[in-house]
Structure 1
């Protein structure tokens, strides 16, 4: 009994220490990494602050961990959650050990972009957690009832913090359906909870029963940039009174310009994006109906482009931080926190020039991880090891779903794919040097 207790303590310490390993970029920066949108999540918990384009989830979630004192608590918790999911992932595939777990966390944090997204005060790191939580619920044979509830909650959080995660979750569930359908109901719980949270907060904020009440505006921007909207406007504007008709001959060639230019079609609308949304829904539906093949081809091209964009790039720049995050920290946090923010490498502008090597290393690591996983997939197929097969397939499908949800439905950005590409190195690391005894044991459990 004493040995059992000490083993549990050792395992817990391994998970905690593994989480700390993932925040080294923040430690090196001297402060958690920030993005211009971070200020939105800082201000979300304040009274009456609702964003039309972001779920009302991540900001309230991180409030207890910063308590208007310091953002360090947010990145530490993100690291611990990721460390726990990696522990449970390896436990589903092979007997887990504290030393092996720390080595895996060290390798993932050093060789990939995972640590940079753990250290970033944004919901991006949860993209990979969606895949891992559904894998654990669908394929682990060692979860207690309490742990099943906990991972269901973590998975629900991971899915609900970003709308693109709904697509990743749905794709991951397909793997459970194909390889272990008896566990599908367990794996479905996070998605059901996430949908309930998204619909509930939308009702509360906008009095609308919807998951994404204004998402059509993003789709309109994407289709316009792809060149699929102009012909629809030319055909229907003589009989419609759409706001966008005035923009038929000057539609932006870039979806970000379409969306965020203060003088563009979205923000020149009297009601802004919220007012444009009903019109956008109508135009998007007509575009899909009349131009299905061009829309499909554009989606394939954008997905393919997004799939290969693995570089830190826009993750660590300081663009717009002085006008967004700095104002929020100054308003809501202590003067000491603002000073720590101002002294960070990111704000000082000395970080970008030093991360090119990290980006190159991460790109090489994910390519090697992918190629290695092909061999592991073939081995798992020959052994009929459905758990290993599921892990690799779920990682691949998760990456593809992420590329579609971000590239095809929004716009390809380096940040979007890099936030989840690190998953490719996980199966090789988890399966490294797995002995034959472990293989036979796990294979029998999978069967």
Structure 2
């Protein structure tokens, strides 16, 4: 009988779940369902957020491209906004436009522009219920055109390049920049450049100098000539300066006669301006400083000094360059050359009569030496006199005013008769 009761009790214990077990199972199921639902909701929200950011990025791109398509000067400045509805979302497109000036640095010698002027366009797109999502931003910079009125308000800069005969930079040269209302100084650096910043637009000129150095024309200061400074840009004028050299010229007259100081000649160099030939000794008006551009030596020797390094051809006063081949002059060096003179054989118009007590000679108007001072020759009332001169056309007269004169073309290494009226 006991065995039967035990069996009945065992069968009753295995029949179904208790209320507690059912409640626990329901709780577990609810938690799982909530978790799955939260994941699904998060995934849907993330997908929607990504879609909104993609649409916002497209709106930014469209706004930037629309700004680029407008004239820079006509693109409105300041903030503006508009709304765009896409796929049920209202987007706000904010645009901010402003002129921006950027300085290119304080070293004008290392910059291509003194300052830059651009119109900056900044675009920001937002939408409702963004939460922690960041706004989508973008932008562009549009360069100012030459007609942009703001460009005229920017300063310019000047970088004076000082170069020697070989094209290398000259350090330690003093440079003075001069304009209508300004004069400032600077010294060239290792590269041979002197920089000036904050220069107002206008017309300027710069001069460079250095002890012992000369310009291409033999002046103590090398000029850049006039140049224009533009707003926001770097002007780069050049001045040529190098250590001066010298050229000693020996003259000879095969027909004899006493050589005299002041006989003119020319030097021809490719870098002389405005013409390649320059008259000596009138160069004295071009030189500055304590060193003369020409010194007269004994026996007709003369030395042209303050010469910019380069090649020079020594010639007389003929309209063509008839001298020997070019002679190189190195920086700080001294070279030598020779020049054959012509001879004017002076005689009186009175046969066998004495010459005028004083004879005046000057280069004729067609001479390459026109403008050189006239020579005054004391004859001692001799009946004939050999006067060594450079070749080319000359005028001779007994009057310092040349009221009457005789014109003769002299030839190098040749004696040419010249009759002078008393």
Q: Per chain length, whose mean CA-contact separation is higher, i.e. which structure has more relative contact order (CA < 8 Å, sep 6+)? A: 1
Band of TM-score, shorter chain: under 0.3
TM-score in terms of structure 1 length: 0.19
TM-score in terms of structure 2 length: 0.20
Q: Report which of the two has the higher share of helix.
A: 1
Q: Report which of the two has the higher share of strand.
A: 2
